[in-house]
C-alpha cells in the first residue's frame, strides 16, 4: 500500500470517527413521569469531574441540588466546553415548565422559575447512572444528546400521608419528600390529627401532647377479623414544632409545599380524649384503639371554636403555604342530634338539619382562615349541607363529587378511592401483606384521568390536579409504607404530569423496569409485580379459551395444566388455552432458565352457566365492576380477600336482578354463590335472595332463600332446586332477585348510608 493510499484510509477512518460522535440517538430517555416533548439529538455529552455548573442566584435550589448530585470538582480545570448552564427564561409559558437541551459540549437548562429548573434537574438525574444516588462519584459518563421541553398537565400534584394511625420518624418523612420531588410532585398532604392520635405539638394545649398523642393499645390483624384483638402496648408520639419547621424547610428546598390537615368536626376523638369539653357529652373517652369512624365529634360551641382557632394559629406559624386542610369527612351526626347546644344553635341559625350545621361549622373555620389570608381544603363531605364559599374540595368517595364541586365553580382535587387509595391491595396474590381491602393495581392507577368525561371544558378548569392517599391503619413500618406507595406513586406522577397523548402504559412499564434500579439504589422497598401473570377467560362465539399475559416483553410464560408448579422446561405459552372442562392453569414468567416473579394459578370450574348469557338490571359501581356481568358466570371465583378483584361485583345501595339465560333448556340441581359481608367496609350480605325459574314450557317456579349471617366475612348461598319428582323439569332461564340490605344501622361503620352488596361467581349445576 502506498503512502497516498494510507493517507486516504486515515482520512476515511477519522471521518468515520468524527461521524460516530455525531450519530443520531435512537433510544428515547427513560424518564418518569414521561416528559411532554422529546427530540432525540446527535452525539453525547461527557459528564466528568471537570464539568462546570453555572446557575443564576434565583436558581439556587436547583443549581445546588445538581451540584450536590454530580459533585463536580470546583477548580480551574473546569472546562468551558463542558458546562451545564442554567438560564432564567421569563418568556417560557409555564411557571413549572423547563427545557433541557443536551448538546455534545453543553447542557442548557432553561426555566422561568427555580421550580421549573428543579424539574429539569430531576429529568437530567434520571439520565445519569444510579450510582449517583448513593452519593458516589462517577467519572466519564456519556449522556446521549436530547432536547426536552416539558411542563406539567396539572398544578396540584400531591401525595398524602396519615401519621395518626401510624407515625414515622422525621428522617423517613424526609425520604418520602425526596421521592415526591424526584417524581415532580409539588405537594405533601400531611394528615396530622385523627381519632387514633394527635401528632402535632400545640403549645397552647399541653394535653394534646400528653393525652391525645397516645393510645393505650392498637387493634391486631384486620378490622374484619372477629373478635377484635389488641396488642396491649401503648403507641404514640408527636412531631415537635422544631421538627415540623425542619421538615417544612426541607420540603421547600425541594419545591414541595406541605398542606397540614387538622381534622374537624369528625375524626376528633383523640382531641376530645384530651379535652372532653370539646365534645357534646363532656364525658371522658379514650384515644381510639381501633380503626373506623367514631361518634364523638367536636361540638360547635364557642369554646370549641376558640380551641380550633388557637390550634390553627399555631399551625399557620409552622406552615406558610396557602392551604390548610380541615378534614370534614366521616362525621356521624348522632351526638349533634342528641345535644341541646347543637339543636339550639341549629334553631338560632335557621339550620334545617345536621348537615347544615356541619356546613356552618366549616364555613366559620373557613371565615377565620380566610381572614388570615389562608384557604381551606376539605374532603368531599363538605359539599353536604352547602359548600363553604371559597373551599377547595378534595374528592375521595367518587368522581361524582368532583363534578359537583366543579359545577359549583369550586376548585377540586381528585383522590378517588377507585384510583388513588394506595392503602388498597395492588395484587390478587394471596401472599400480599394485609391491607385495608379494595383492589387498585398499577395499571388502574395509570389509567386514571382526573378530568371526567362528564365535565364540560369550563368545569374541567376547576380541576387543580390529583393526589395519592396513604392511610396507615394497616401500614405500621417504613418498608410496608414504601411497598404500598411504590410503584403506584410513579404511575400517579405520570397521570398528573404527562399529557394524555404522551401516556402509554406499555412504555411506562418499560421505564419502570429501568427505574426500579434507581429505587434499589435509594433503598426504597417497592412492590414488584412486573413479572406477575394476568389470566383472562375469553369467549369467542361460545368457544372459551384462557389467555395469559405478563407486563414486560422479551420473557417467556411457561405453564402446566395438571396443577404442578411450572419450571423452565414447561410448555411455553403462545396461544390461548382452549377450555371445555374444569381445569387448573399454573404459570410463571421465565427469563431463560430463571423464574421471575411469583407462580400464578387459576382454577376454572366449568359449571352449567359458564359461557351462557347474563344480564343485570343495574350496573355495578365503577370501582367494583370486576370483569362485568359475564364475570359472574366465567367459572372463576373471586378472591377470598380482594372483593375488588376481577371476579366480584359491587353494587352500592341497589336492588339487583340477575338473569341467566341457558339458551337450550337444561336440568338444574343447585345454585351456589357467595356474598361479602365486610361491615367495616359498609358491605352487607342481602337479607334474602328470590329465584324465578322459567321452565321450557314457559311456566315459572319461584322460591326464596333467607340469609342470616353472623359475623362471617364470606357468606355462602347454597340453593337446591327442588321440583316435584314426577316432573321432568328443564330450565330455560333463572332470575336472582337480590334486594339491598338497606340502611346501615346506628353504631356501625357507615351508619345511615346504604349498604353495599358484593356478589361472586354464580355456580349452576
Ligand atoms: C377518607 O378517606 N376518609 C377521606
Ligand atoms: Zn353538641
Please tell me the number of Cα atoms within 13 Å of 169 on its side-chain side.
6
Distance in Å, CA 279 to ligand 2 centroid = 6
Strand order in 577-579's β-sheet? Answer: 533-540, 543-550, 577-579
| Nearest one of 70, 65, 54 to 109, comparing CA atoms | 54
- CA of 299, nearest ligand number: 2
Distance in Å, CA 343 to ligand 2 centroid = 8
Distance in Å, CA 222 to ligand 2 centroid = 32
Ligand 1 within 6 A of CB of 422 = no
Ligand 1 within 6 A of CB of 235 = no
- Count CB-CB contacts under 10 A for residue 217: 15
The answer for residues whose C-beta is within 8 angstroms of residue 9's C-beta and 6 or more apart is 1
User: Ligand 1, from 293, 330, 331, 420: best to mutate by most atoms within 8 Å of Cβ?
Assistant: 330
User: Which atom from ligand 1 is nearest to the alpha carbon of 267?
Assistant: 3
Distance in Å, CA 384 to ligand 1 centroid = 15
**Residue minimizing CA distance to atom 2 of ligand 1:** 396
Active site residues: 194, 267, 330
The whole-number pLDDT of residue 201 equals 98
Ligand 1 within 6 A of CB of 396 = yes
Ligand 1 within 6 A of CB of 330 = yes
Helix (H) or strand (E) holding 485: helix 478-485
The whole-number pLDDT of residue 725 equals 60
Distance in Å, CA 267 to ligand 1 centroid = 10
User: Ligand 1, from 396, 415, 438, 680: best to mutate by most atoms within 8 Å of Cβ?
Assistant: 396
Q: Are strands 412-414 and 463-468 parallel, antiparallel or unpaired?
A: parallel
**Residue minimizing CA distance to atom 3 of ligand 1:** 329
Q: Are strands 533-540 and 543-550 parallel, antiparallel or unpaired?
A: antiparallel
Ligand 1 within 6 A of CB of 329 = yes
User: Ligand 1, from 265, 379, 681: best to mutate by most atoms within 8 Å of Cβ?
Assistant: 379
Angular region, 398: left φ>0, alpha ψ -120 to 50, beta rest: beta
| Nearest one of 121, 61, 117 to 90, comparing CA atoms | 117
DSSP string, 85-120: EEEE-TT-S-TT-EEEEE-SSEEEEEESSHHHHHHH
Distance in Å, CA 186 to ligand 2 centroid = 38
Ligand 1 within 6 A of CB of 292 = no
Instruction: Kindly list the distances between the CA atom of residue 462 and the CA atoms of 155, 405, 450, 499, 506, in Å, as whole numbers in the listed order.
Output: 11, 8, 11, 17, 30
For residue 764, what are the β-bridge partners?
671
Distance in Å, CA 264 to ligand 1 centroid = 12
Separation of alpha carbons 708 and 711, rounded Å: 10
Q: What is the pTM of this model?
A: 0.86
DSSP string, 653-665: S--EEEEEEEEEE
Q: Are strands 577-579 and 214-215 parallel, antiparallel or unpaired?
A: unpaired
The whole-number pLDDT of residue 723 equals 75
For the chain (765 residues), the mean pLDDT of every run of 10, in chain order, is 50 47 88 98 93 96 96 72 95 97 97 98 97 84 97 98 98 98 98 98 98 98 88 98 98 98 98 98 98 96 98 98 97 96 98 96 98 98 93 94 96 97 90 90 96 95 98 98 98 98 95 97 96 88 89 91 95 95 95 92 93 94 88 91 85 96 94 93 94 93 92 91 76 97 88 93 96
Q: Which residues surround ligand 2, an ion (CB under 5 A)?
A: 280, 299, 339, 341-342
- Count CB-CB contacts under 10 A for residue 608: 19
Rg (CA), the chain: 30
Distance in Å, CA 725 to ligand 2 centroid = 65
User: Ligand 1, from 194, 329, 394: best to mutate by most atoms within 8 Å of Cβ?
Assistant: 329
Residue where the block lists cell 349533634 = 336
Helix (H, G, I), strand (E, B) or coil at 552: coil
Ligand 1 within 6 A of CB of 417 = no
For residue 736, what are the β-bridge partners?
658, 691
Separation of alpha carbons 49 and 470, rounded Å: 40
Q: Is the dihedral of CA 519, 524, 527, 531 positive or negative?
A: positive
Amino acid at each position: 500500500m502506498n503512502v497516498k493510499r494510507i493517507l486516504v484510509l486515515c482520512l476515511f477512518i477519522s471521518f468515520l470517527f468524527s461521524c460516530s460522535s455525531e450519530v443520531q440517538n435512537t433510544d428515547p430517555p427513560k424518564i418518569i413521569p414521561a416528559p411532554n416533548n422529546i427530540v432525540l439529538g446527535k452525539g453525547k455529552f461527557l459528564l466528568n469531574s471537570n464539568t462546570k455548573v453555572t446557575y443564576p442566584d434565583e436558581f439556587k435550589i436547583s443549581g445546588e441540588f445538581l451540584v450536590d448530585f454530580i459533585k463536580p470538582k470546583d477548580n480551574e480545570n473546569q472546562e468551558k466546553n463542558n458546562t451545564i448552564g442554567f438560564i432564567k427564561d421569563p418568556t417560557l409559558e409555564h411557571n413549572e415548565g423547563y427545557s433541557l437541551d443536551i448538546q455534545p459540549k453543553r447542557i442548557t437548562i432553561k426555566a422561568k422559575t427555580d421550580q421549573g429548573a428543579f424539574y429539569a434537574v430531576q429529568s437530567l438525574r434520571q439520565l445519569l447512572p444510579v450510582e449517583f444516588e448513593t452519593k458516589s462519584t462517577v467519572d466519564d459518563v456519556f449522556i446521549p444528546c436530547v432536547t426536552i421541553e416539558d411542563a406539567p398537565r396539572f398544578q396540584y400534584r400531591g401525595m398524602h400521608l396519615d401519621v395518626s394511625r401510624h407515625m414515622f420518624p422525621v428522617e423517613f418523612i424526609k425520604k418520602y419528600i425526596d421521592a415526591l420531588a424526584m417524581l415532580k410532585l409539588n405537594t405533601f398532604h400531611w394528615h396530622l390529627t385523627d381519632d387514633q392520635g394527635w401528632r402535632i405539638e400545640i403549645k397552647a394545649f399541653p394535653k394534646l401532647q400528653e393525652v391525645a398523642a397516645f393510645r393505650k393499645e392498637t387493634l391486631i390483624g384486620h378490622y374484619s377479623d372477629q373478635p377484635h384483638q389488641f396488642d396491649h402496648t401503648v403507641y404514640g408520639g408527636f412531631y415537635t414544632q422544631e421538627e415540623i419547621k425542619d421538615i417544612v424547610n426541607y420540603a421547600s428546598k425541594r419545591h414541595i409545599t406541605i398542606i397540614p390537615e387538622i381534622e374537624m368536626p369528625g375524626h376528633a376523638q383523640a382531641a376530645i380524649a384530651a379535652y372532653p369539653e370539646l365534645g357534646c357529652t363532656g364525658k371522658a373517652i379514650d384515644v381510639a384503639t381501633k380503626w373506623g369512624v367514631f361518634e364523638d365529634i367536636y361540638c360547635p360551641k364557642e369554646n370549641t371554636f376558640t380551641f380550633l382557632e388557637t390550634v390553627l394559629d399555631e399551625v399557620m406559624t409552622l406552615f406558610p403555604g396557602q392551604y390548610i386542610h380541615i378534614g370534614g369527612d366521616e362525621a356521624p351526626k348522632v351526638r349533634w342530634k342528641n345535644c341541646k347546644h347543637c339543636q339550639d344553635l341549629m334553631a338560632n341559625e335557621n339550620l334545617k338539619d345536621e348537615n347544615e350545621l356541619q356546613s356552618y361549622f366549616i364555613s366559620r373555620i373557613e371565615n377565620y382562615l380566610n381572614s388570615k389570608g389562608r384557604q381551606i381544603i376539605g374532603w368531599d363531605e363538605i359539599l353536604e349541607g352547602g359548600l363553604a364559599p371559597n373551599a377547595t374540595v378534595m374528592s375521595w368517595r367518587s368522581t361524582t363529587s368532583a363534578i359537583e364541586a366543579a359545577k359549583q365553580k369550586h376548585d377540586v382535587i381528585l383522590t378517588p378511592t377507585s384510583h388513588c387509595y394506595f392503602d388498597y391491595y395492588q395484587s390478587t396474590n394471596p401472599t400480599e401483606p394485609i391491607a385495608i381491602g379494595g383492589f387498585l393495581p398499577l395499571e388502574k392507577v395509570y389509567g386514571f384521568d382526573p378530568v371526567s368525561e362528564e365535565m364540560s371544558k369550563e368545569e374541567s378548569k376547576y380541576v387543580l390536579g390529583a393526589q395519592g392517599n396513604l392511610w396507615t391503619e394497616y401500614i405500621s413500618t417504613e418498608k410496608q409504607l414504601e411497598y404500598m406507595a411504590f410503584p403506584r406513586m410513579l404511575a400517579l406522577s405520570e397521570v398528573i404530569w404527562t399529557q394524555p397523548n404522551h401516556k402509554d402504559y406499555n412504555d411506562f412499564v418499560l421505564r419502570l423496569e429501568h427505574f426500579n434500579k434507581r429505587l434499589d439504589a435509594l433503598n426504597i422497598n417497592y412492590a414488584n409485580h412486573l413479572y406477575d401473570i394476568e389470566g383472562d377467560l375469553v369467549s369467542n362465539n361460545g368457544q372459551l379459551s384462557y389467555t395469559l399475559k405478563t407486563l414486560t416483553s422479551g420473557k417467556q410464560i411457561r405453564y402446566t395444566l395438571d396443577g404442578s408448579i411450572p419450571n423452565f422446561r414447561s410448555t411455553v405459552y403462545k396461544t390461548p388455552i382452549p377450555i371445555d372442562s374444569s381445569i387448573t392453569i399454573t404459570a410463571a414468567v421465565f427469563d431463560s432458565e430463571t423464574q421471575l416473579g411469583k407462580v400464578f394459578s387459576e382454577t376454572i370450574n366449568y359449571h352449567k352457566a359458564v359461557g351462557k348469557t347474563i344480564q343485570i338490571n343495574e350496573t355495578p359501581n365503577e370501582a367494583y365492576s370486576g370483569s362485568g356481568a359475564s364475570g359472574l358466570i366465567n367459572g372463576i371465583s373471586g378472591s377470598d380477600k380482594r372483593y375488588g378483584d376481577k371476579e366480584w361485583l359491587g353494587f352500592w345501595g341497589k336492588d339487583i336482578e340477575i338473569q341467566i339465560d341457558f339458551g337450550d333448556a337444561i336440568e338444574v340441581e343447585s345454585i351456589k354463590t357467595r356474598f361479602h359481608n365486610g361491615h367495616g367496609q359498609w358491605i352487607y350480605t342481602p337479607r334474602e335472595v328470590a329465584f324465578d325459574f322459567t321452565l321450557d314450557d314457559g311456566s315459572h317456579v319461584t322460591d326464596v332463600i333467607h340469609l342470616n349471617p353472623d359475623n362471617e366475612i364470606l357468606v355462602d348461598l347454597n340453593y337446591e332446586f327442588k321440583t316435584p319428582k314426577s316432573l321432568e323439569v328443564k330450565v330455560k332461564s333463572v332470575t336472582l332477585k337480590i334486594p339491598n340490605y338497606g340502611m346501615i344501622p346506628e353504631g356501625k361503620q357507615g351508619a345511615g348510608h346504604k349498604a353495599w352488596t358484593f356478589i361472586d361467581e354464580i355456580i349452576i349445576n
